[in-house]
Amino acid sequence: MVAISFLFLVCSFSFHLHAVAQPRNSTIRLGSSLTPTTTGKSAWLSPSGLYGFGFYSQGKGYGVGVFLARVPQRTVVWTANRDDPPVPSTASLVLTTDGRLILQSPPRRDVYIVTDASQKIAAASMLDTGNFVVYNSDEDKIWQSFQYPTTSILQGQPLSAGKELVSSVSKTDHSTGIFRLKMQHDGNLVQYPVDTLDTAPYSYWSSFTDGQGDNVSLNLDNNGHLYMLNSTGFNIKDLSTGGYDDTNRTIYLMKIDSDGIFRLYSYRLDQNGNRSVIWSSTSDKCAPKGLCGLNGYCVDVDREANCICLPGFAPVIERNFTAGCERNFSSDSCKIGDGKIQYTIQAAENTVWEDTGYSEVTSTTREECETSCYEDCNCEAAMFNDGKCTKQRLHLRYGRRDLSNSNITLIKVGISSSINEPRKHADEPKDGKGKVHTDILIIGLSLIGFSVMVLVISGALILRSRVFRYKRFSTDSNIRLCENVAPISFSFAEIEAMTDNFQEEIGKGAFGTVFKGTVMLNGLTKFVAVKRLDNISDQGEREFQNEMRIIGRTHHRNLVRLLGYCHDGANRLLIYEYMINGSLSDVLFTPERRPCWIDRVEIARDVARGLLYLHEECETQIIHCDIKSQNILMDENGQAKISDFGLAKLLKPDQTKTFTGIRGTRGYVAPEWHRKLPVTVKADVYSFGIVLLEIICCRRSVNWSLKDEKAILEEWVYDCYQAGKVGKIAGEDEEVDIKQLERMVIVGLWCILDEPTLCPSNKKVLFMLEGTVEIPIPPCPTSFLSSI
């Protein structure tokens, strides 16, 4: 009997060991790889096959993430590098033998899937919880997807304080969308549009649990119970009651959808993955702010959200209403030569917006409100409600139709964009006079056409001549040019000698390393900075060609000079003038090197002059796309110079805006990048505004070691400005000119407005900094967005 009992214990223990070791059967070893094709292995599955980590369909290619593998349509619950473009079917996901998890898609550069693991990866696992985990050689977890949520949380995955979920663009496009759900440090769970401040004016849903302290978390149990716990583990709020089905036949996940509503879903695994919504933050499809973009409003039709543009407006991007609407008429042209107004006013009834006007007229009629707006060139729209007329400038935002609200939106519409034209306010020309005007117009257009043709032919001949000269130059590798004429071509052997075999490293960036060297130019020995592009890939080659093409067109005292280059075999190097004082960030954020107030003012003007040259004075308009304090270098005289043109964008002569993926550095990126709107030179103006505030305050734009009210620089600066305490902004610097300080603060606040059309041009920014133009009072905080 004892022997039988012992045998039973041994068997039981063996079974227990097998159960514990079961997850190790899904261990992903070094050297493992995946491909998205049906013939190869496209995912690493969890032990039960419930979840998979690997490739999923994205547009015309594939993305990488975690998804439900046991339902017919792969439901993506976590995405890696979600804003990267889809990869082709030739791509592969590899856990390399040296401990890196990378996505390979030649000729593109390798992309790291796990970028912040504390140690080298020894193995990985896809767990049945939906958590993808990587381990070190001691089998300790060093990274897990549960700590970096994207759109969803799963059973057993908390959303902790400070974390947020961000929606996808659509059900099939998993890149970053326009809504977020944040678990705040004050204990409140709140929904906002992306790139907004964490303040009440932007929120459209809240758990109303603020004041519950830090470390509150959102949690989801195996039975569908969605609830919030405080730091002591006490349940402070139930969002769903739970108790639906805690068997292994049903799984639950919470997701913020592309429409801005977050929902709790159940999936029945025994019913072919049948999905149901068992709880949602709201049933009002028009509640999410920003759903219809600027100048568009949401209309609920049969419980579905429909977006409509204001009269005289059209979508910025067809079939993408979240990008907003734009008009073909502006208040700048509301009066013609004889002072007669050329527009009509049309109405959108029962529409409400969350904007404040600049002027209010009381005790008036609708007709009087219209007339008041007609006669005011600053008025682009007016809100009429119960005898009150509020005049506003564009853009209007967070609009929706509310049949219970009597507000009428009166909008100025240019005659050319008006369809019905209910009221004209311009004298129509008589027939005879109109004919004369037509004849003059025809003759004028003919002359203009002939002139344009002559210019085109002349330009073509000049271009042909220049191209011929360039080709002659390119074929002669022995040519050496003077420093002030063009970049010099060097061989790799010459670069090695120049840098003493790359002896002294002075900096490192995303695509390369910078070394100090010496070169003989015009008979003089000069120090140079040599940027060597590492691991030349598709992206690295593009950066090299881009920087060569763009900086070769520029010559300005506030831009770093490109002195030479090397295009020798697989080697790509760029040689710049050496900037002895390093970057502006080194100078500003090192207390011992902090410049005095007068020098900081001049630094700001230097950067503005450099940008003005790129935007308006260069032969081709250039958007830098990565203005930040690290990319502004300081020479021996303390003069600031803009550097690093690897991400810059050249505009064509007839082009004022461009569509491109997000470029730049977090914290300095303009809001239009995140909204996927057309990008103009105003994106650089926004980034300059952040840099300007850093110059004023000698601190980084984000510093979480400070108190909450000071952590985000632009918020704190505006609060100080509103409170009339601008003296606090520059710290204890006794040399500060308070009036000049206030002027610079106001310029910075104007630059970081969220709407590009409201931001000043760089020329006006420079004029304001130099004190040659008056500066109006900047809008309230609801008009600008954080770049965090």
Q: Write the CATH number for 312.
A: 3.50.4.10
Q: For residue 523, with 0-12 CB atoms within 10 Å meaning exposed, 13-18 middle and 19 or more buried, which class applies?
A: exposed
Residues 114 and 49 reside in one and the same domain: yes
CA gap 346, 672 in Å, rounded: 28
Domain boundary among 148, 176, 209: 148
Domain boundary among 397, 417, 437: 417
377 in any annotated domain? yes
Residues 46-60 have a mean pLDDT of 93
Tell me phi and psi for residue 545, to 5 degrees. Answer: -65, -40
Q: Which candidate, 613, 495, 504, places its Cα nearest to that of 559?
A: 613
Q: Which amino acid is at 280?
A: S
Tell me phi and psi for residue 331, to 5 degrees. Answer: -65, -20
435 in any annotated domain? no
Please tell me the predicted confidence (pLDDT) of residue 548: 67
334 in any annotated domain? yes
- pLDDT tens digits along 439-448: 555 556 666 6
Residues 343 and 266 reside in one and the same domain: no
Domain boundary among 391, 417, 443: 417
Residues 600 and 743 reside in one and the same domain: yes
Residues 409-424 have a mean pLDDT of 59
Q: Is 471 annotated as a binding residue?
A: no
CA gap 262, 264 in Å, rounded: 7
Q: Which residues are 313's β-sheet partners?
A: 327
- pLDDT tens digits along 25-41: 478 999 999 999 766 68
Residues 212-235 have a mean pLDDT of 93
CATH number of the domain to which 59 belongs? 2.90.10.10
Quick check: 724 pLDDT over 50?
A: yes
Please tell me the predicted confidence (pLDDT) of residue 567: 82
Quick check: 22 pLDDT over 60?
A: no
529 in any annotated domain? yes
Task: Provide the whole-model pTM.
Answer: 0.56
Please tell me the predicted confidence (pLDDT) of residue 471: 38
**Range with the poorest average pLDDT among 267-281, 644-658, 730-744:** 644-658
- pLDDT tens digits along 141-183: 999 999 999 999 999 999 999 999 999 999 889 999 999 999 9
Q: Where are the extended beta strands (E) located within 497-635? A: 505-508, 512-521, 524-533, 562-568, 571-577, 622-623, 632-634
Q: What percent of the chain has pLDDT over 90?
A: 42
Residues 755 and 680 reside in one and the same domain: yes
Q: What is the dihedral of CA 97, 103, 104, 110, to 10 degrees?
A: -90
442 in any annotated domain? no
Please tell me the predicted confidence (pLDDT) of residue 11: 41
Give me the number of domains the chain comprises: 5
Residues 200 and 273 reside in one and the same domain: yes
HEC readout, 119-170: CCCCEEEECCCCCEEEECCCCCEEEEHHHCCCCEEECCCCECCCCEEEEECC
Q: Which amino acid is at 398?
A: Y
CA gap 711, 184 in Å, rounded: 14
The highest-confidence range among 138-142, 452-456, 647-651, 659-663, by mean pLDDT, is 138-142
The residues that are catalytic are 626
C-alpha dist (Å) from residue 468 to 130, 476, 545: 61, 13, 20
Quick check: 210 pLDDT over 70?
A: yes
Residues 759 and 648 reside in one and the same domain: yes
Residues 340 and 269 reside in one and the same domain: no
371 in any annotated domain? yes
Domain limits at 333? 296-417
Q: Which residues are 227's β-sheet partners?
A: 219, 238
Quick check: 293 pLDDT over 80?
A: yes
483 in any annotated domain? no
Residues 232 and 265 reside in one and the same domain: yes
Residues 596 and 653 reside in one and the same domain: yes
314 in any annotated domain? yes
Please tell me the predicted confidence (pLDDT) of residue 555: 78
Please tell me the predicted confidence (pLDDT) of residue 637: 87
Residues 593 and 694 reside in one and the same domain: yes
CATH number of the domain to which 745 belongs? 1.10.510.10
The set of residues, in sequence order, having a beta carbon less than 8 Å from that of 301 and lying 6+ positions away, is none
Phi-psi category of 398—alpha, beta or left, where left has phi over 0 and alpha has psi -120 to 50?
Answer: left
- pLDDT tens digits along 518-531: 987 666 778 999 98
Per the model's pLDDT, the better-predicted residue between 773 and 135 turns out to be 135
Please tell me the predicted confidence (pLDDT) of residue 45: 94
Please tell me the predicted confidence (pLDDT) of residue 541: 64
Please tell me the predicted confidence (pLDDT) of residue 376: 85
Per the model's pLDDT, the better-predicted residue between 472 and 499 turns out to be 499
Residues 556 and 629 reside in one and the same domain: no
Residues 781-787 have a mean pLDDT of 40
CA gap 152, 78 in Å, rounded: 7
Residues 120 and 156 reside in one and the same domain: no
